[in-house]
Amino acid sequence: MDWQSLTLTVELALIVAGILLVIGLPIAYWLTFSKWQWKFLIEALVALPLVLPPTVLGFYLLIAFGAQSPLGRWWQSITGQTLAFTFEGLIVGSILYSLPFAVQPVAASFASVDPKLIAASATLGASRLKTFGRVILPLSVPGITTGAALSFAHTVGEFGVVLMIGGNIPGVTRTISIDIYDRVQAGEYAGAGQTALILLLFSFVVLSVIYALNRKVWAAWPFK
């Protein structure tokens, strides 16, 4: 059993879910409330990772991370290394790959907030930001925890993108799914099975806890 790849995976998934929580909220807000007529283009763009094979996304990321691309050159000029085959590169790739899983549940719960509540907040003198903080956000807690849980779980289970842009460097980019693949390739079925079982149980427990909290969301919401 390779604990290093498990902790690496959990670390990656936590960071990705955390970042997605922060950038997913404004994206979901914009997607829900914007009246821009070309909004559907952005919606399609956000949903793209749902349908694209991970290898396609991984391939473009690899190109973007390379020294020929502006992004790659910019990153290299400030860090002195390339994004490809690094933990930071994995974070960037995973954020893009898991974006729809974070944004869509949150956007759906924003959209399900009764528009009259938003109107009522406005007539009571609240700014858009205050309405967001005091009405939309608290009423969307179930969607937000779902989004965070799904992006966490999706990152844990990611394989193709990691393989394309991260490779297989122990302690840096070897996530648990790569580890399992590696063991199977090497004929180590016992080790692969053990790791797979741990991943299965871990994922199930995490999802169960989050869904259980979701069910009693008012009991768990600390900012009443």
Partner 1 sequence: MKHLAGLTSDTRGERARLFVRVNKRFPASADTDSDFLLQVEFGVAAGISVILGRSGAGKTTLLDCIAGLTRPDSGVVQVGDRVFFDDSRIIDLPPARRRVGYVFQTLALFPHLSAQENVEYGIAHIDSRERRRRSDEMLEAMRISGLRSRKPRDISGGERQRVALARALVTDPSVLLLDEPLSAVDAPTKSRIIDDLRSWIDRHQIPVLYVTHSREEVFALASHVVLLEKGSVIGKGSPYEVLDTPRHEVAASWAGFENIFDAGVLREDEDGGTITCSIGEVNLEIPLARHSGKAVRVGIRAGDILVASEKPVGISARNVLPGRIVDLIRRDAVVVVQVDCGITIEAHITHSAQSALDLREGSPVWLIIKTHSCHVLQRSDRES
Q: Which of 22, 70, 77, 116 binds partner 1 (CB under 8 A)?
A: 116
CB 110 within 8 A of CB 32: yes
Residue 134 binds partner 1 (CB under 8 A): yes
CB 89 within 8 A of CB 78: no
Q: Which of 28, 92, 135, 153 binds partner 1 (CB under 8 A)?
A: 135
CB 96 within 8 A of CB 60: no
Which of 42, 20, 16 is CA-nearest to residue 30? 42
Residue 138 binds partner 1 (CB under 8 A): yes
Considering the complex, what minimum distance in angstroms separates the CB of residue 88 from partner 1? 38
CA distances from 180 to 25, 82, 97, 205 (A): 33, 26, 20, 20
Considering the complex, what minimum distance in angstroms separates the CB of residue 217 from partner 1? 9
Considering the complex, what minimum distance in angstroms separates the CB of residue 139 from partner 1? 6
Task: Output DSSP code: residue 181.
Answer: H
CB 151 within 8 A of CB 20: yes
Q: Which of 125, 185, 219, 222 binds partner 1 (CB under 8 A)?
A: 125
Residue 121 binds partner 1 (CB under 8 A): yes
At a CB cut-off of 8 Å and minimum separation 6, what does 76 contact? 67, 82
Task: Output DSSP code: residue 1.
Answer: -
Burial of 142 (0-12, 13-18, 19+ CB in 10 A): middle
Residue 221 binds partner 1 (CB under 8 A): yes
Residue 185 binds partner 1 (CB under 8 A): no
Q: Which of 23, 63, 124, 209 binds partner 1 (CB under 8 A)?
A: 124
Residue 218 binds partner 1 (CB under 8 A): yes
Name the residue nearer to partner 1 (CB basis): 211 or 221: 221
Name the residue nearer to partner 1 (CB basis): 126 or 207: 126
Considering the complex, what minimum distance in angstroms separates the CB of residue 124 from partner 1? 3
Name the residue nearer to partner 1 (CB basis): 122 or 206: 122
Residue 139 binds partner 1 (CB under 8 A): yes
Q: Is 170 helix (H, G, I), strand (E, B) or coil?
A: coil
Give residues in contact with partner 1 (CB under 8 A): 114, 116-117, 119-127, 130, 134-135, 138-139, 218, 221, 224
